[in-house]
Amino acid sequence: PNWANWNCFRDLDKKGLMMYGQMTAGSWIYIGSQGILQGTYETLAEINPRLIYCSITGFGQDGPYKDRGGYDFIIQAIGGLMSITGEPEKKGGGPPQKVGLAVSDLFAGMYASVALLAAVTHRERTGEGQYIDLALLDCTAAILSMMATNYFISDNTPPVC
């Protein structure tokens, strides 16, 4: 997040959120982190019912890690991506490695794009906005679904690729 904005908006009360909402009343889409502006979707949706609010966090809105930062390489490790990345055992093996790109960030953005397009279509048909909640960890687990399926079918740990 933009920390300058975060410091300005994190402690807004209901009146402050209403003022913020009036400033963004003409906005079609807001992308940010729900945790920065506590309870803001409901408040902003009162002002602009057509608003599409997309929240992207590291670990989601609840659970034990909800307040932790979502750094791509941490998400890759916790999500299991690093366990299949690195030097294969038949070539000598080695420790888990992160992917060369920030793939957890990239895939979260791709999932957000698809969700935003669906929300825009919904709004065009119904006039209603939407709240979209994405977590980097959820998106990383989703891209590993084939590995999980193979594990549950065969009981074999996915190999390092």
Instruction: For residue 37, give every residue at least 6 positions away whose Cβ sits within 8 Å of its Cβ, in sequence order, or none.
Output: 9, 10, 12, 17, 20
Set 105, 133, 138, 155: catalytic member: 105
Whether 105 is catalytic is yes
The helix/strand/coil state of 89 is: helix
Within a 13 Å sphere around the CA of 29, how many CA atoms are in the beta-carbon half? Answer: 14
Q: Which residue has the tokens 């960890």?
A: 137
Kind of pairing between the strands at 130-135 and 29-32: unpaired
- Active-site positions read 105
